[in-house]
Structure 1
Amino acid sequence: MKNYLFILFFSLIGFSLFAQNSASVTVNSRATVIDPIKIDKTVDLDFGNVISAYNPGQVILSPDGSRVAYGVQISNSIPGTVNPAEAVVTHGNNNYSISLPEQFTLYNQENPTQVLVIDQFIIQPQEGNVIDIIKIGGTLNLEANQTSGFYTNSSGFNVTVSYN
């Protein structure tokens, strides 16, 4: 019996001498550096000539450049400059989001207390592999008997693009 205990004792000691107290593995690491996202304006947003009315109204400029008027008139014979805004986004085939303001105010150059508000911006991207062209339209809101004149805002509005 002593022999069995002796063998059992040394067997257990032998197993504890060979027990693994730690383990390790080699992990490879990698990184991909991408170019920063970039946006360049190519065309400003122009609603063209609008004829004021006795009632409030709106002009909706689509990203494709078409205009529709509600409550006011637009002249087809003297449309003025009509363009959706346009910008080129360089994104390296990565997903991104576009942010625009809720609204933007234009001021009459002769009488800055007279304003027009642009809201309900509409974005239409023309997607490419590395760059996209985005076109931006919106809704121009006019008051009843809106004062005539040239309305602008030299500060412009921000179009922000961010990687997702």
Structure 2
Amino acid sequence: MEKLILILLSLFLSGQVFAQASASATVTSRATVIDPIKIDKTVDLDFGNVISAYTPGSVILSPDGSRVAQGVQISTSFPGTVNPAEAIVTHGNNNYSITLPESFTLYNLENPDQKLVINRFTVQPETGVVTDVIKIGATLNLDANQLSGFYTNSTGFNVTVTYN
């Protein structure tokens, strides 16, 4: 009988111990698709008529459309077309950033060796919920005795908007 108890006891004690080797959980997933950010230019940047001087100078065009001349003159009686650039940004109520070039060059149509440099861009957003109107000003830099004529650059400059 002792042998039987001993055999039974050893069978019970030698049984395998089972441990949990894996576990799982159910994960749900979601995605929200938002509209892509969009920008549409509505008005080009135009500094108007500027009178050259014997010294270098500049014209600062603010996003509100006002101009300030430094070292050159602007005609109040014949101002020409003066506009800050304007664009509509559709952003779906998401935050975004605006990137402008550091500078941009305009060339004289009759003498492409003559150029004007635009820099120090400024932006004024008129914020809305889904769309904003942005107005862009800049500084136009003239050399001393800048050659008169129409200066432009048909390639334009890029205004980039990016979601933050």
Match runs of 1:54-73 below 5 Å = 54-73=54-73
How many matched pairs?
A: 159
Alignment match, 1:50 = 50
| Structure 1 counterpart SS, 2:149 | coil
Query: 1:40 — aligned with what?
Result: 40
Give me the whole-angstrom Cα distance separating, in 2, the residues matched to 1:110 and 1:150: 8
Q: Shift in Å at residue 139 of structure 1?
A: 0.3
The one-letter amino acid paired with 2:159 is V
Deviation at 1:12, TM superposition (A): 8.3
Runs of 5+ in structure 2 lacking a partner?
none
SS state at 1:53 partner? coil
Q: Secondary structure at the match of 1:146?
A: coil
Match of 2:84 in 1: 84
User: C-alpha distance in 1, partners of 2:26/2:127?
Assistant: 42
- Any unmatched runs of 5+ in structure 1? none
Amino acid at match of 1:160: T
Describe the shift of the 1:117–1:37 C-alpha distance in structure 2 as closer, same or farther (beyond 3 A).
Answer: same
Whole-angstrom CA distance in 2 between matches of 1:10 and 1:124: 83
Cα distance in 2 for residues equivalent to 1:34 and 1:12: 62
Q: Return the offset for 1:10.
A: 3.8
Letter in 2 for 1:60: I
Q: CA deviation at 1:37?
A: 1.0
Query: What one-letter code is carried by the residue in structure 2 that aligns with 1:128?
Result: G
Identity of aligned residues (%): 75
Q: How many angstroms apart in 1 are the aligned matches of 2:84 and 2:103?
A: 16
TM-score (norm 1): 0.90
Partner of 1:31: 31
RMSD: 1.9
Partner Cα distance (1:114, 1:42) in 2: 28
CA, structure 1 residues 100+12, in 2 after alignment: closer, same or farther (shift >3 Å)? farther
Stretches of 4+ moved more than 4 A in 1?
11-14
Residue 136 of structure 2 corresponds to 136
